[in-house]
Amino acid sequence: MELEEKTRDKEKKALIIRKYQQYLKLEKAFSGNTIEAYLTDLDKLLRFLEEEHIDILEVCLDDLRRFAAGLHDIGIHPRSQSRIISGIKSFFHFLTLADYREDNPSELLESPKIGFKIPEVLTVEEIDTIISAVDLGKKEGQRNRAILETLYSCGLRVSELCNLKLSELYFDEGFIKVEGKGSKQRLVPISPRAIKEIKYWLIDRNQGKIKRGFEDYVFLARWGNNISRIMVFHMIKELAEAAGITKNISPHTFRHSFATHLLEGGANLRAIQCMLGHESIATTEIYTHIDRNMLRSEIIEHHPRNIKFRKEREFH
């Protein structure tokens, strides 16, 4: 009898998770990677509940708080804790939507406080130095140059760059069409310099191997399919090292730099939000913090009072 009950509970749980997966895919329009991350984080909670002999439909706020405290106790970074809790809140929201529960015990569950961290930003000169470090004598040289110019010119996420299609390039109009998070599309202006670099790359691309099914992708690996995020990450790391840049950078650094330079040039925050594909203006506002910090540095460096103070200290 007990075995039958356990089997029924297992089947019920599997059905709920399957329906939650469908909800993430169809209702939220999340990518495969995002769905996998949500389910991985949910599995942590399910294991905890199983150990505590708590039914998933009978969870209360105290249970969730004990789970969250456990994440802290085993040393999981606050940012990762916050992500896991966000996923759990999404799951319990689904349970109420799907009428599995009348209440949502996660509503009052708090995420850990995360200190504000300013992302690394490259100067225009540093970006030019990295691009100049590309060896155009190599087969993939022009491709890499076009990749860097496109990342910086358009402020793309690396996944958006890897999935960019030829059919989404509108060079005559000066735009590209990008599919961002949740399959949301947006038009992004592209610079004449990036257009020029991509056109040079297309000459090489069309002479190389192209796998069936990848004919429409802009940036291809040498074996004929579209490039991966890992490839772009390693390429940027190697070029930064070759250029003597010691900052800890990634493809996302080009996106941060793009937004920061736009803001410094006087661009409207809402316009930057549209360019980056941010749903919330709050996400974009991180760049105002960068701008204020840079302004402060400029004042400290160049204000007459500070120059005089430094000279007096040097004299003494």
Q: Which of 143, 145, 157, 261 is catalytic?
A: 157
Amino acid sitting at position 49:
L
What pLDDT, on a 0 to 100 scale, did the predictor assign at position 269?
65
| 278 catalytic residue (yes or no) | yes
| Residues 230, 250: Cα–Cα separation, whole Å | 10
Q: Classify domain 124-299 at the CATH topology level.
A: hpI Integrase; Chain A (1.10.443)
**Structural domain spans, the chain:** 2-97, 124-299
Burial class (CB within 10 angstroms; exposed 0-12, middle 13-18, buried 19+) of 227: buried
Q: Which residues contact 173 (CB under 8 A, 6 or more apart)?
A: none
| 157 catalytic residue (yes or no) | yes
pLDDT category, 19, cuts 50, 70, 90? Answer: very high
Q: What is the pLDDT of residues 120-168, one digit of tens each?
A: 788 889 999 999 999 999 989 999 999 999 999 888 989 899 999 999 9
Q: Which of 205, 255, 256, 261 is catalytic?
A: 255
What pLDDT, on a 0 to 100 scale, did the predictor assign at position 167?
95
Q: Which of 20, 23, 152, 287 is catalytic?
A: 287
Contact 267, 284 (CB under 8 A): no
Q: What's the angle, vertex CA 287, arms to CA 285 and CA 291, rounded to 5?
A: 125
Burial class (CB within 10 angstroms; exposed 0-12, middle 13-18, buried 19+) of 198: buried
| 181 catalytic residue (yes or no) | yes
Q: What is the pLDDT of residues 61-119, one digit of tens each?
A: 999 998 888 877 666 777 888 888 999 999 999 999 999 999 999 988 888 776 556 66
Higher pLDDT, 190 or 278: 190
What pLDDT, on a 0 to 100 scale, did the predictor assign at position 289?
55
Q: Which of 44, 83, 89, 181 is catalytic?
A: 181
What pLDDT, on a 0 to 100 scale, did the predictor assign at position 276?
80
Report CA Rg, the chain.
Answer: 25
On the question of pLDDT at 3 being above 70, the answer is: no
